[in-house]
Amino acid sequence: MIAILVIANIFFVLWTPIYSRITPKIGAWPFFYWYLLIFMPVTSVVLFVVTKLQKRLDRERQEPAAAGQEGGVRS
């Protein structure tokens, strides 16, 4: 899931036929500028989600190891 989000994010920035057009315009600004201005906050949200998913996966990997160490020694 994390890899898909990051790859999609990179793809939508690097594949220029998506946004390399002049029309539609909003005011004097061509679509290129609006696309990139909208995409920046989207990228921030995607990277925030990726960070949270990675932390959760790391926590899940460490919890079983910690539970195995605690339960191994009994007095």
Residue-wise pLDDT for 26-74, tens only, equals 788 888 888 888 889 999 999 999 999 999 999 988 887 666 666 555 5
Q: What is the pLDDT of residue 70?
A: 60
Residue-wise pLDDT for 4-32, tens only, equals 988 998 898 888 887 777 778 778 888 88
Phi and psi of 15, rounded to 5°? -85, 90
Q: What is the pLDDT of residue 7?
A: 92
Alpha-carbon gap, residue 35 to 58, rounded angstroms? 34
Domain ranges within the chain, ordered by starting residue: 2-64
